[in-house]
Structure 1
Amino acid sequence: MSESARLHVFKTYKLYVGGKFPRSESGRVYEVTDAKGTWLANAPLSSRKDARDAVVAARKAVGGWSGATAYNRGQILYRVAEMLEGRREQFVREVADAEGLSKSKAAAQVDAAVDRWVWYAGWTDKIAQVVGGANPVAGPFFNLSTPEPTGVVAVLAPQESSFLGLVSVIAPVIATGNTAVVVASERAPLPALSLGEVLATSDLPGGVVNVLSGRTAELAAPLAAHQDVNAIDLTGAVADESLAKELEIAAADNLKRVLRPRAEEWATEPDIHRMTAFLETKTVWHPTGALGAAGSSY
């Protein structure tokens, strides 16, 4: 059969929830176009039910992921970088289409995203030493502070940086032991949905990262109000101040940690603030000179 006569197989993009690839429960899709308006694919149009299902999956994964050793989490994040490197050309093509970039500029963004995964992989077993430590106190006590993950974090991915920005908001959340429900860029969700395929084959336990595509405002509202979501990153709402304010008010109902949106230059060197934003500090007191005595914490 000649090349011109064969029927091409068009990819069906799906959500990534709980380590599986479901379609939206509503059955809805929406058209995704490139920067010039040319149709690229249909993406799932997630519903509120999909958002709730993603939270359930993320909650189930918290215990195992937060309980894993920091070294093991680092190994898994590094494996993600390896898998991304192996699919580099696919992501270069998707980023170029999504953001209207030349192939060379798209390649630079993909390479930076892979490097960023490696950077955060290296921090998994070091962040506790940087933000924890022994505290000087008056009295015969040891006083130690250690960071712990917040839990389930809802992440509104950047709207304009469909891959480098996406990686920059997901990696720090899971590096510290949290699980994530990610709302992909509304206009350019395909790199995020493809990232789900990488995560599924990189030893990352199902439910640690869950990827939804669709209308950002429609999905963000139930996540901000959800009582089983512990924190929310509002980066994807930076261009909509009224939406960001509504989400922050909804998040206050169960005292969620909120990372407020701000203008970001994703190509700059990262720092640790996105990791510390979703960490809690546990302080433990223990009497000195009394081995085996029960300590107390708060």
Structure 2
Amino acid sequence: MSDRAETRLNVLKTYKLYVGGKFPRSESGRVYEVTAAKSGEWLANAPLASRKDARDAVVAARKAFGGWSGATAYNRGQVLYRVAEMLEGRREQFASEVAAGEGLSRAKSLAQVDAAIDRWVWYAGWSDKIAQVAGGANPVAGPFFNLSTPEPTGVVAVLAPQDSSLLGLVSVLAPVIVTGSTAVVVASERAPLPALSLAEVLATSDVPGGVVNVLSGRTAEIARPLAAHQDVNALDLAGAAGDAGLATELEVAAADNLKRVVRPSGAADWTADPGTDRLLSFLETKTVWHPIGA
């Protein structure tokens, strides 16, 4: 029995992209090595997404937008809460991936995972409350009701933070989808494994396919076609915070179809209270006039 145990080969995990609710390999067939932050030890081969993968992810996100944005806020909150339940059940796995990718101790990586789960629950709770913060009745000089309500902007390309592979990722992804938009996520280039594992959680939860699409690879290579894509409505540049030249290039490309752009002003503290800034960043305001008494 002991001899058999010594000669057994481990079954290595094959990480894949997550696009439209499915797990394709990159259409280019490329992969890149993911190594441990401290030791440099090989951890896995991650898919190296291409421009075609990015375009496919945008198509999937646009297709899913109508159903997701049309769901009730209560329903979206319940769906997100289910994701938090499943994250809790895979706490040890995520802690191992965060520890290896970010070079953290077990205690610190567990703390990061716990904070990410709590952050996800926090955002889920905002689903049916954000309209009361961002909307309201407006006083007008006439016999009309004038009401403003927030609506999701559409497809949002999210460059996940490079230095916070799970907590930072949750902090930029959850506010996008809880308000009804759909997302194309570019995982941390250095530590993509937690994002790719999060995709597995999303696939087996109640989140409809296409609402979140996860790509891994070279951030700049994937971000450029997303920033220039005419069917992407907004762009979060959290993952380009350390590269001012790239961030400026992406902003210029995004201006071509007037994308909303969130560009960080400096190093982010992902453990801090997130506030409502990102919740409000990717919302449009619809104002309706209605005659009084009609």
- TM-score tier by shorter-chain length is over 0.9
**Aligned mate of 2:66, from 63, 78, 86:** 63
Using the alignment, how far apart are the partners of 1:288 and 1:268 within structure 2? Answer: 45
Alignment of 1:287 onto 2:286:
no
Q: What SS is found at the alignment partner of 2:213?
A: strand
Q: Pick from 196, 201, 211 the counterpart of residue 198 of structure 1.
A: 201
> 2:84 is matched with which residue?
81
* Rounded Cα–Cα distance in structure 2 between residues aligned with 1:53 and 1:135: 41
Task: Give the corresponding residue for 1:258.
Answer: 261
Quote the residue 2:119 is aligned against: 116
| Correspondences of 1:1-298 after superposition (within 5 Å) | 2-36=4-38, 37-262=40-265, 263-289=267-293, 291=294
1:260 CA drift (Å): 1.0
For 1:57 and 1:129, how far apart are their aligned partners in 2? 30
Q: Which runs of 5+ in 1 are unaligned?
A: 292-298
The one-letter code sitting in structure 2 at the alignment partner of 1:274 is R
Distance 1:219 1:261 in 2: 19
Aligned residues: 290
User: Which one-letter code corresponds to 1:83 in the other structure?
Assistant: M
Measure, in 2, the Cα distance between the counterparts of 1:144 and 1:207: 31
Partner AA of 2:23 in structure 1? F
- Which digits, 9 at most, give the CA deviation of each residue in 1:161-191, with x for residues without a partner? 0110001000000000000000000011000
Q: Amino acid of the residue matched to residue 262 of structure 2?
A: L
Contact 1:236 1:261 in 2 (8 A): no
Q: CA deviation at 1:130?
A: 1.0
Q: CA–CA distance in 1 between the matches of 2:217 and 2:189?
A: 6
C-alpha distance in structure 2 between counterparts of 1:102 and 1:207, whole Å: 34
| Distance in 1, Cα, partners of 2:206 & 2:287 | 32
Provide the rounded CA distance (Å) in 2 between the counterparts of 1:168 and 1:62: 21
Stretches of 4+ aligned residues off by more than 2 angstroms: none
- The Cα of 1:261 is off from its aligned counterpart by 2.1
Partner Cα separation in structure 2 for residue 136 and residue 204 of structure 1? 38
Q: Distance in 1 between matches of 2:169 and 2:31?
A: 21
Contact conserved, 1:33 with 1:41, CA < 8 A, in 2?
Answer: yes
The 1-side partners of 2:276 and 2:203 are apart by 26
Identity %: 81
d(CA) in 2 for partners of 1:276 and 1:33? 36
Question: What stretches of structure 2 of length at least 5 have no aligned partner?
Answer: none
> Cα offset for 1:246?
0.5
SS in 2 for 1:4: helix
Query: 1:294 is matched with which residue?
Result: none
Checking the alignment, whether the CA contact within 8 Å between 1:158 and 1:165 is kept in structure 2 is yes
